[in-house]
Every structure is written in structure tokens, then in C-alpha cells.
Amino acid sequence: MADNKIADVPTEIPKHPRVFCVATRGRECWLLRFKCVWCGRFHQHGGGPLEGDPDAGHRVSHCLDPRAPAGYDLVVARVLP
């Protein structure tokens, strides 16, 4: 008979998880925005000068949720005009 018990899956968050964001042009720089999976709110980071491509990479977290990591690696998933 099959056991209907769900296997224990580790839920440990990586030290610097990858977070996908959307890049938009701000007044003076690229803005990188995403919806936080920990608190459900939108967070925003600067993404470098407008003369080049959006600059993602590691950022320190702004999230106040106690489950959120101290930082994450932003990846640009989409660039909006």
C-alpha cells in the first residue's frame, strides 16, 4: 500500500538566491524592480547609468521580512521601454 506522506524536502534558502527583475528607464539611471517572494511587496534597486545596459548582480536586501536573505543576485528578465 502506498504511503501518502510527502517526503521531507529541504527548504533552506541559498545565501544569495537569484531574483528575476524588470528593468525600466528612470530619470538618471536604470531601475530594477521585482515583487518580493518573502513579503509580497515590490522592491527597487538602481541598475547603472542609462548610457549602457541595465546592470544587475548582487544587491543587499531591503526587505524587512525575517525570512528574507541578507542579499540576492538580481537577473534582468525583461527590459521595458
| Coil vs helix vs strand at 47 | strand
pLDDT for the residue numbered 60? 96
pLDDT of residue 14: 77
Strands 57-60, 71-79: pairing is antiparallel
pLDDT score at 5? 59
Give, for all 81 residues of the chain, the pLDDT tens digit.
456 655 565 567 778 899 999 999 999 999 999 999 999 999 999 999 999 999 999 999 989 999 999 999 999 999 998
Per-residue model confidence (pLDDT) at position 81:
84
C-alpha torsion 32→38→39→45, nearest 10: -20
